[in-house]
Structure 1
Amino acid sequence: MNEIARLLDEATSGESPACSAAVVLVSSGGRLLVSEARGTLARAADDRGSPHEFANTPASVDTLFDLASITKLFTAAALLTVLDEQGLGPGFRVADAIDEYRVDGLSAVTAEQLLSHTAGWPAEWTDPRSGQSPWARFRSGQPGDQAGSVHRYSCVSYLWAGLLAESLSGERLDAVIARTLLEPLGLHDTMFTPGAELRGRIAATEYQSVPDRGLVHGEVHDETAWALGGVTGNAGLFGSASDLLVFGEMLRNGGRHQGRQVLPEWAAAAMTTNRLDDLGLATDQRPAYGQALGSRVGDADWMGPLAALGAIGHTGFTGTSLIVEPGGRRSVVFLTNRVHPTRHRSDIRDLRLRVADAVVRLEE
């Protein structure tokens, strides 16, 4: 048994497993090097541990996982493609497309700042007011800092990035992402709001009592995305490891897939190289990792030894991650449902590091 298979066995077994389902795919030089799936789609149906109807359904490379914040990579790629289609670039002012930005403090915000988490927005949207639709309440929010003054990982920025893609294209975000990415890449198992008929292929996530949703299975786990209807720029995509590997390989190859330039070359470069120097952000306001448009660059906190090789990627709160070596050899997909049935007992960070270390040692 290889080391990655052993790690997944440990993660999905025992009295208190890290997750019920786990999948790892690793490609090197375009060749599939590792394909391992362990566990089942679910364990418990509620917070009392009642057996789940899919407790005996094995996970596979085609199991659908809630990708959580990996959605942000697709949002970034789609928005950059739409900008390219209209002869625009990442310096495009959001105020030229969205009315709410035509005020002091927002008028200078650019698409690049939204996608690099430097637009000044808070990390999360939390607005309990009633009397308006959720999207209307969201649109009335205000940033906490001046754009370009600080790097703060922000789901709010990506909610706006999704709205910007919609405004520029005249399409809903799910349609934009399908047209620009899913269809050209042949990603038939990646989608927002999967139908009920797919529930038997989806890894369950968390049993939630606040909000009172019960076991979240087949609906987006992220509370903000759920409140806003499930199709948002920050979270909401479901997808398989097989599909996500194709997307990662496209980024590794500079935006190309099967001989076709799916993502414009400049956009692929923007998504895979650190942009913080170009943005002029003060050193003391920068994170410990690099920030591309969408991707983190060289984040050793979860990429482990791959960070030193210039890897880029993203994680998702549900227990998902994608690591890519742009222009290099490897793409690594690691998907779990570590929030099932609760978010409070799993240390996915250590497991991600151990998997990354095992990937590097595969070819030593």
Structure 2
Amino acid sequence: MRALPEGERPWCSGVAVAAGTGSGPLVEDAFGWAVRYEVYDESADRGVELPREERVPVRTGRRHGTVFDLASLTKLFTTIVAVRAVERGQIDLDGRVASYAPELTAAAEHGVTVRQLLTHTSGLLPELPLYEYADDEQRLARLSAEPPTTPPGAARRYSDLNFLLLQRVLEHACRRTLDRLVGDTITGPLGMADTRFRPPSSWLPRIAATEDQRRPWARLDRGMLRGVVHDENAWALGGVAGHAGLFSTAGDLAVLCRALLRGGGGVVSSASVDLLLNAPGLGFEVDQPWFMGELAGRGAAGHTGFTGTSLVVDRARDVYLVLLANTVHPRRRPGNSAPRAAAGTALAGAVG
């Protein structure tokens, strides 16, 4: 990744990259700044850069690496919790959502299943402005009453709502909150101490900034965000949500990737890994060259996050690629996954 002149608006302020195999890491490196801008200047359409001595570089290393807002990579953790609950007999993939969470009245009326949530075939809208409602009771009422716009099972349509409903299913069926389920099921067993919802204030010096959130480009006026979830709905829901809210490091996500490449690493069974990673995938997206580059084509599976994050697991080549960036710092721009795809192509070329 080339050095960027001062004042130029790069693809991201900073990035951490980790790649390796099921046996161990091949490379872990960092470039740029976790915190580069003080504010976004709307009139000049550019970030106001902090003095160089006040910026925070992106770093690597366990317990020292930069912590990023994962955005939709959170969905992968919710998915893994779900398949583990299937293994334990707590939920059924083809069970009706309403049989676990009867308050989800629209899902009950239309017969939405757990599998349809995990494969984005429920027919639900991509999102709702839950952050506009005054309290959690009103947010849940709005979410519960939202009907599918197409018949469940008829077509794939990516939706954050699927994972908000899945969160309700899991919390009812497993009798624990999602943050506890992620800790008990994934991060605890794998020793991922740098991965959690609602990071504590002691982590702040390590956390990458995201957006100077102000209207009209953002949905809320929250100022420059650092250590607080970027997604407005996840924030309104208290920072713990099925679709967004987790923070982590490249090193911690590499641990998860290696576990998947090793057949589940004791977190889930090898049969469940097949369900997760084989087409069409559960939660994971399979063979998507727009962000995987030339890693796509042999059954690679992964996901992206709005803040600039991505993860790819390629069992055919026995490699993984984690790329964590803060592309929304100091403000969001139209999506551009070319650098993600280029990294995937470079890794594919390196390992053959």
TM value normalised by structure 1: 0.86
- Which residue, out of 220, 230, 253, partners 1:244? 253
Q: Shift in Å at residue 215 of structure 1?
A: 0.4
2:103 paired with 1:100: yes
Aligned to 2:94: 91
Q: Percent identity?
A: 36
Aligned to 1:357: 345
Count of aligned positions: 336
Aligned to 2:274: 269
2:31 match: secondary structure:
strand
- Which residue, out of 160, 163, 170, partners 2:168? 163
Contact 1:254–1:327 (Cα < 8 Å) also in 2? no
* Superposed CA offset, 1:204-235 (max 9, x none): 00001130100011000011111111100000
Aligned to 1:15: 8
Q: Shift in Å at residue 75 of structure 1?
A: 0.2
Contact 2:300–2:316 (Cα < 8 Å) also in 1? no
* Superposed CA offset, 1:259-313 (max 9, x none): xx21133321111011xxxxxxxxxxxxxxxx31110000111111100121000
Contact 1:20–1:39 (Cα < 8 Å) also in 2? yes
Contact 1:105–1:146 (Cα < 8 Å) also in 2? no
Aligned to 1:187: 192
Give the Cα–Cα distance (whole angstroms) in 1 for the partners of residues 316 and 263 of structure 2.
7
- Which residue, out of 288, 305, 309, partners 1:320? 309
Give the Cα–Cα distance (whole angstroms) in 1 for the partners of residues 54 and 174 of structure 2.
42
- Which residue, out of 197, 208, 213, partners 1:208? 213
- Which residue, out of 66, 70, 80, partners 2:73? 70
Could you tell me which runs of 5 or more consecutive residues in structure 2 were left unpaired when the two chains were aligned. Answer: 42-47
Give the Cα–Cα distance (whole angstroms) in 1 for the partners of residues 52 and 247 of structure 2.
20
Aligned to 2:295: 306
Taking the TM superposition and a 5 Å limit, the aligned residue runs for 1:138-153 are 138-153=143-158
- Which residue, out of 211, 229, 239, partners 1:220? 229
Aligned to 1:280: none
2:226 match: secondary structure:
coil
Contact 1:298–1:312 (Cα < 8 Å) also in 2? yes
- Judged with a 3 Å threshold, the aligned counterparts in structure 2 of structure 1 residues 12 and 148 are, in CA distance, closer, same or farther, namely farther
Which amino acid is 1:330 matched to? V
Could you tell me which runs of 5 or more consecutive residues in structure 1 were left unpaired when the two chains were aligned. Answer: 1-6, 275-290
Q: Shift in Å at residue 172 of structure 1?
A: 0.6
- Judged with a 3 Å threshold, the aligned counterparts in structure 2 of structure 1 residues 121 and 45 are, in CA distance, closer, same or farther, namely same
